[in-house]
Amino acid sequence: MALRRGGTLRDYDRRSLFFSLSMAAIHITDIEAAINHWREKSPSPDGITLAPELRALAEVYALMVFHHEDEVDEVGFPAKAWAAWLDWYHSTPDTPCIAICSTSQGDDECKGCGRTFDEVQYWPAMTPVEKRVTWRRITMEDSAWRFNRYAERAREAEPTAAETEFDPDDEKHWAP
């Protein structure tokens, strides 16, 4: 299963999606979000010069646009771009959970967050890219309560600035 070039996540069976996450890839919208994160975090002093993290992400983004790719594999991702992407990733909420888990009541898909039973169970073992694939799917489906009925719970769970500071010496920011 290849999640490339214009294919939507709705085109694939959700249950097989989780078990195919070894092919997880970073979507171009995540690269854009990481670029915007770094533009805010390290603005250009002169309107021309880019921070090293921005240059690394911009290079990946430019190649994706040039080759008309929607996603890029995490394997072989440039180390500086990977560290910059991970910094953005760590500034996002880790889990879509809003503490209303219907999978514990027997549902195949949680009404609260939109994840499948397997995604809920294996979430702690999933890589950041695998988690982003799941986040993208549930966001595009927009049917979980976290996006409508209980949106205020989701906003309360967002990390604060103190929780998302970047430390280049921290091992969690190292490339895989």
Closest to 161 measured CA to CA, from 103, 108, 90: 90
pLDDT beyond 90 at 32 = yes
Is there a domain that residue 150 lies in? Answer: yes
Is there a domain that residue 4 lies in? Answer: no
Alpha-carbon 115 to chain mean position: 14
Residue 1 pLDDT level (bands cut at 50, 70, 90)? very low
Domain limits for position 19:
9-173
Is there a domain that residue 20 lies in? Answer: yes
Sign of CA dihedral 67, 29, 27, 173: positive
Residue 145 pLDDT level (bands cut at 50, 70, 90)? confident
Report the chain's mean pLDDT, rounded to a whole number. 80
CA distances from 129 to 99, 116, 154 (A): 23, 17, 20
At residue 165, what is the residue type?
Answer: E
> What average pLDDT does this structure show over 84-106?
90
pLDDT beyond 80 at 6 = no
Is there a domain that residue 1 lies in? Answer: no
Is there a domain that residue 139 lies in? Answer: yes
> What average pLDDT does this structure show over 98-118?
88
For the stretch 43-85, pLDDT in tens is 988 988 999 999 999 999 999 999 999 999 988 889 999 999 9
Is-contact 55 26, C-beta < 8 A? no
Task: Specify the number of domains making up the chain.
Answer: 1
For the stretch 15-25, pLDDT in tens is 444 444 446 89
Is-contact 66 112, C-beta < 8 A? no
Determine the pLDDT at residue 172: 57
Is there a domain that residue 155 lies in? Answer: yes
Is there a domain that residue 3 lies in? Answer: no
Is-contact 174 77, C-beta < 8 A? no
> What average pLDDT does this structure show over 30-50?
93
pLDDT beyond 50 at 38 = yes
CA distances from 35 to 55, 143, 156 (A): 9, 28, 24
Is there a domain that residue 79 lies in? Answer: yes
For the stretch 118-144, pLDDT in tens is 999 999 999 999 999 999 999 999 888
CB atoms under 10 Å from CB of 69, counted, come to 16
